Amino acid sequence: KQEVTQIPAALSVPEGENLVLNCSFTDSAIYNLQWFRQDPGKGLTSLLLIQSSQREQTSGRLNASLDKSSGRSTLYIAASQPGDSATYLCAVGPSGSARQLTFGSGTQLTVLP
Amino acid sequence: GAGVSQSPSNKVTEKGKDVELRCDPISGHTALYWYRQSLGQGLEFLIYFQGNSAPDKSGLPSDRFSAERTGGSVSTLTIQRTQQEDSAVYLCASSLGYSSYNEQFFGPGTRLTVL
The percentage of chain A sitting over the pLDDT mark of 90, rounded to a whole number, equals 79
d(CA A28, CA A37): 23
Nearest to B50 among A31, A99, A101 (CB): A99
Inspect the interface and report whether the beta carbons of A98 and B59 lie closer than 8 Å: no
pLDDT digits (tens, 9 = 90+) for B35-80: 999 987 789 999 999 888 888 888 999 999 999 998 879 999 999 9
Inspect the interface and report whether the beta carbons of A93 and B58 lie closer than 8 Å: no
Inspect the interface and report whether the beta carbons of B104 and A34 lie closer than 8 Å: yes
Distance from CA of B108 to the nearest CA of A (A): 4
What is the length of chain A? 113
DSSP at B56: B
The pLDDT assigned to B26 comes to: 94
B35 contacts chain A (CB < 8 A):
yes
pLDDT digits (tens, 9 = 90+) for A37-80: 999 888 899 999 998 889 999 999 999 999 999 999 999 999 99
The pLDDT assigned to B1 comes to: 57
Average pLDDT over residues B17-38: 94
How would DSSP label each residue in A47-106? EEEEETT-SEEEETTEEEEEETTTTEEEEEE-S--GGG-EEEEEEEEESTT----EE---
